[in-house]
């Protein structure tokens, strides 16, 4: 990883500077010889000059980091040292012909690789992570996504220690070597960029299945795991089969190789990686059994398995021209996995969850120093731009195409995209043009969604004219405040779904002023100017507006509405998302008022209208239990903090705690009845109804009944923990105990640890639950756990479970006014930066909102940021985050 010193300040790379490479690589032959002390990589590259960019005699510059060059030959002839130059980032060959073969031999040391990029070891097994720019850690190469080649890979290793040798494509040959070694050769017939290269070797076993494609081909499906995990793979296999079938049925996309492989590894910086034909996964998103994984874990596994499979077409067959186009593959594939999960589970529930994540995390990113368009204009370290903006907001922008074109039009556009660009490295503009061509529509107005940072804000005013029987809707768009320097905001194309309801809760037929007849009870309006108005006619009574139904665009909405209107929509809106959203808006308004009252020392009182509305949700038997659980949940403190400045963490915590206690006390009988109704004593089931039941009863227990802290509730929690036959119920009960200062808490923690200390993924839960506690001494517990024998800085999952959970999710305790947590995080970031800069940069982002807090906390966080950036040899990963955080205004 590049390091920053006092003499060298990293410089940004700009999108407008893109140019094609001076040379193309058409074919790659790799031989990777694995040994304990050193790995030898032999490469043969077929290279040709790009006549559009490079003149004759142009030097060849190949990327390479942490490589020891042993041999180099051009067209079979060894090169003298005077013919080339090697530095810490490149191999430069001064003169090459137009077409040639370049052979190199390099030595690398995967066992010393703590950054988990390139080729490294995890639990004694070898694996790779090459995205974005880490193939250069394996051999010298033009390590950029627009250089696409075919690959053949031969792996050799000790047969006893590494019986399984995997790479991209199809296995074509195997053989034996001296000294109990063996080799396997793989060939990938599809051109791919170097970031999709993969290699895995180790003591692994296979859980396998098959899938018959729509053309009748039988594909072998292989999930490779460590032997002790072989009984935790069936759900991943079923998820893969579902994803393959869904992609065929929805978009007509068929898998192309003879085998599809997934490997689960414990040490992984990301969630998973879509390497062609050989996906490498964080074990968190593969391994599960009912007693070790929650219902949410099961759903996450299904979604991530699908996501990486969908990349075979949206990312692999058609890839990015350059890394500024990352959302081309990631935003599109997130959109595809969201649709898949919605079809596999519940559309409304999935939509609500996705929007909650976007509003809580991405909207916050838009308000901080890392604000950037979904297609960034510059970066210092590309790893820092695998962001929620690129992924989740990128998915929302892709959803705009579906909203405008309909699902059929979107499918036509996607088919056109593959027809034009299969096997190519392309841009976001190419995707938009293909969508437009297929539907014969001008989609140029969508371009601003790719080029502008920040969250658009729609200010909404509705006016009813009883005499004219018209309802005028006026909408103005601007941009939410973005501290990072951004160009002037230009209006975007914002599709807005709306409905109007009469006082009885009936949706009205909608007719615009320039139309002859009503066209449906829901209308899609297109806002493309800074300000527009829409006039609905023949409206017999003053209506209640349902605006941005289904969250039809990723925008903030500012609208003055009586609380009675919000309560009305909570009860009557037939759009499940907006019904949920109305309750959230009402709760948010009340919580912010309560926070102000607490800060001012005023008595706290909860509006009876909200209590009444909450009671209606609680007793609505028509609501799906999972949706009811979601509707009951109050806005979390992190999201609430985005709505005020300065962020008053203590006031928000006290306000939310007060509202929870009032609701719990008011509806104690109803909550207990709901818990008993949905608390099954039957054996575990993974049916949809059983999942819904667990979700509702655990929401009732964790988020409301626990606040009562009475003996009956404590007994319920203890009984659920002791008798749970699944991790969903056990984890829920333990999370309740984490909020209670009672002896049973420590007893349960010891019991949980004793049972699960040898299962890394379950032990991650043990760390995370303690880090998420809102009890006052949580920081002391976290400090103690950071010295626990099972805490390991080299394992990203363990670091995320304890440190990220505490610093990013536990707002009230991380931002304690004494600043101890800030100092702890800064010291840990510096220690981790020497081991794994990618992980360190993710953690230091917990400081990104520092300017939005009160003066005391601002000064404390700024001091720690200055301490970090003053360190010599800081990685570019951490330097970019910290420098942007310190420099924005």
Judge whether 205 and 175 are in contact, CB under 8 Å.
no
- Considering 222, 308, 402, 880, which one is annotated as catalytic? 308
H or E element at residue 309: helix 295-310
* Neighbour-count burial for 157-196, b at 16+ CB within 10 Å, e otherwise: bbeeebebbbbbbeeeeeeeeeeebbbbbbbbebbbbbbb
Sign of CA dihedral 774, 775, 776, 777: negative
DSSP string covering 499-510: EEE-TTSPBPP-
For residue 421, list its beta bridge partners: none
Both tokens of 494, joined, read: 């914002």
Nearest Cα to Cα of residue 668 among 631, 698, 627, 712: 712
Judge whether 335 and 398 are in contact, CB under 8 Å.
yes
- Sorted by sequence, the CB contacts under 8 Å of residue 381 that are 6+ apart come out as 2, 10, 841, 875, 876, 877, 879, 880
Nearest Cα to Cα of residue 233 among 256, 255, 264: 264
The Cα–Cα gap between 352 and 226 comes to: 36
- Rounded to 10 degrees, the C-alpha dihedral 95/100/103/104 comes to 30
> Strand 531-537 vs strand 470-479: parallel, antiparallel, or unpaired?
antiparallel
Both tokens of 611, joined, read: 């209590």
Assess whether 515 carries a catalytic annotation: no
For residue 129, list its beta bridge partners: 118
Judge whether 423 and 522 are in contact, CB under 8 Å.
no
Judge whether 146 and 256 are in contact, CB under 8 Å.
no
The Cα–Cα gap between 174 and 247 comes to: 33
Classify residue 90 by its DSSP letter.
E
Judge whether 764 and 730 are in contact, CB under 8 Å.
no
CA distances from 254 to 212, 215, 235 (A): 10, 8, 21
Residue with tokens 């999710």: 809
Classify residue 507 by its DSSP letter.
B
Q: How many CA atoms lie within 13 A of 204 on its CB side?
A: 27
Sign of CA dihedral 594, 600, 604, 606: negative
Catalytic residues: 308
């Amino acid at each position: 990883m590049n390091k920053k010193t006092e003499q060298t300040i990293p410089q940004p790379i700009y999108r407008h500077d893109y140019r094609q490479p001076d040379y193309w690589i058409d074919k790659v032959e790799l031989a990777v010889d694995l040994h304990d002390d050193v790995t030898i990589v032999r490469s043969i590259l077929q290279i040709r000059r790009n006549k559009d960019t490079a003149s004759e005699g142009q030097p060849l510059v190949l990327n390479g980091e942490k490589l020891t060059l042993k041999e180099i030959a051009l067209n079979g002839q060894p090169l003298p040292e005077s013919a080339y130059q090697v530095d810490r980032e490149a191999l430069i060959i001064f003169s090459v012909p137009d077409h040639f073969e370049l052979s190199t031999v390099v030595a690398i040391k995967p066992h010393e690789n703590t950054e988990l990029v390139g080729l490294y070891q995890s639990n004694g097994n070898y694996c790779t992570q090459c995205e974005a720019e880490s193939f250069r850690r394996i051999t010298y190469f033009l390590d950029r996504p627009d250089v696409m080649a075919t690959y053949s890979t031969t792996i050799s290793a000790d047969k006893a220690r590494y019986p399984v040798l995997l790479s991209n494509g199809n296995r074509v040959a195997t053989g034996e070597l001296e000294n109990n070694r063996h080799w396997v050769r793989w060939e990938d017939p599809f051109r791919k960029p170097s970031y999709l290269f993969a290699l895995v070797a180790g003591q692994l076993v296979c859980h396998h299945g098959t899938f018959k494609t729509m053309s009748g081909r039988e594909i072998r499906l292989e999930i490779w795991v460590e032997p002790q995990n072989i009984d935790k793979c069936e759900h991943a296999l079923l998820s893969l089969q579902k994803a393959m079938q869904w992609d065929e049925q929805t978009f007509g996309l068929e898998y192309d190789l003879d085998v599809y492989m997934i490997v689960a590894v414990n040490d992984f910086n990301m969630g998973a990686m879509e390497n062609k034909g050989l996906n490498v996964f964080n074990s968190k998103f593969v391994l599960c059994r009912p007693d070790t994984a929650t219902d949410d874990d099961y759903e996450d596994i299904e979604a991530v398995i699908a996501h990486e499979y969908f990349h075979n077409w949206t990312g692999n067959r058609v890839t990015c021209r350059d890394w500024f186009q990352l959302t081309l593959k990631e935003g599109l594939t997130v959109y595809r996995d969201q649709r898949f999960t919605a079809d596999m589970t519940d559309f409304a529930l999935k939509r609500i969850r996705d929007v909650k994540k976007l509003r809580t995390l991405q909207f916050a990113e838009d308000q901080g120093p890392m604000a950037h368009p979904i297609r960034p204009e510059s970066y210092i370290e590309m790893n820092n731009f695998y962001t929620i903006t690129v992924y989740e907001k990128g998915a929302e922008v892709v959803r705009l195409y579906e909203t405008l074109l309909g699902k059929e039009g979107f499918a036509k556009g996607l088919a056109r995209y593959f027809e034009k660009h299969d096997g190519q490295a392309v841009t976001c503009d190419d995707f938009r043009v293909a969508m437009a061509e297929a539907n014969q529509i001008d989609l140029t107005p969508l371009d601003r969604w790719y080029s502008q940072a920040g969250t658009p804000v729609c200010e909404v005013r509705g006016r009813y004219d009883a005499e004219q029987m018209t309802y005028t809707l006026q909408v103005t768009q601007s941009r939410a405040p973005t501290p990072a320097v951004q160009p002037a905001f230009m209006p975007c194309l914002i599709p807005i779904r709306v409905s109007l309801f009469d006082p009885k809760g009936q949706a009205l037929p909608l007719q615009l002023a320039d139309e002859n007849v009503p066209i449906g009870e829901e209308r899609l309006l297109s806002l493309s100017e800074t300000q527009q108005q829409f006039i609905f006619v023949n409206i017999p009574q003053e209506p209640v507006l349902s605006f941005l139904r289904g969250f039809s665009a990723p925008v903030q909405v500012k609208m003055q509405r009586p609380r009675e209107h919000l309560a009305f929509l909570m009860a009557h809106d037939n759009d499940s998302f907006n019904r949920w959203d109305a309750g959230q808006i009402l709760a948010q308004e009340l919580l912010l008022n309560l926070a102000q009252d607490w800060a001012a020392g005023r008595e706290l009182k909860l509006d009876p209208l909200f209590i009444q509305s909450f009671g209606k949700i609680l007793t609505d038997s028509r609501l799906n239990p999972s949706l009811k659980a979601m509707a009951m949940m109050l806005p979390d403190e992190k999201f609430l903090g985005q709505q005020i400045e300065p962020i008053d963490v203590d006031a928000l915590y006290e306000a939310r705690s007060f509202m929870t206690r009032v609701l719990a006390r008011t509806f104690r009988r109803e909550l207990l009845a709901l818990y008993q109704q949905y608390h099954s004593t039957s054996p575990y089931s993974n049916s949809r109804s059983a999942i819904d039941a667990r979700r509702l009863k655990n929401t009732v227990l964790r988020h409301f009944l626990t606040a009562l802290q009475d003996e009956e509730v404590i007994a319920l929690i203890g009984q659920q923990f002791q008798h749970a036959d699944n991790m969903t119920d056990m984890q829920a009960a333990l999370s309740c105990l984490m909020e209670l200062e009672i002896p049973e808490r420590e007893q349960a923690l010891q019991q949980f640890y004793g049972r699960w200390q040898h299962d890394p993924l379950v032990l991650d839960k043990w760390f995370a639950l303690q880090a998420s506690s809102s009890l006052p001494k949580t920081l002391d517990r976290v400090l103690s756990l950071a010295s626990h024998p099972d805490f390991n800085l080299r394992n990203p999952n363990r670091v995320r479970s304890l440190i990220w959970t505490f610093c990013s999710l536990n707002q009230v305790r991380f931002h304690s006014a004494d600043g101890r947590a800030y100092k702890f995080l800064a010291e840990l970031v510096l220690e981790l930066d020497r081991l794994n800069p990618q992980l360190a940069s993710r953690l230091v982002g917990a400081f990104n909102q520092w300017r939005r807090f009160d003066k005391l906390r601002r000064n404390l966080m700024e001091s720690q940021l200055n301490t970090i950036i003053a360190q010599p040899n800081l990685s570019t990963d951490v330097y970019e985050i910290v420098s942007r955080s310190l420099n924005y205004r």
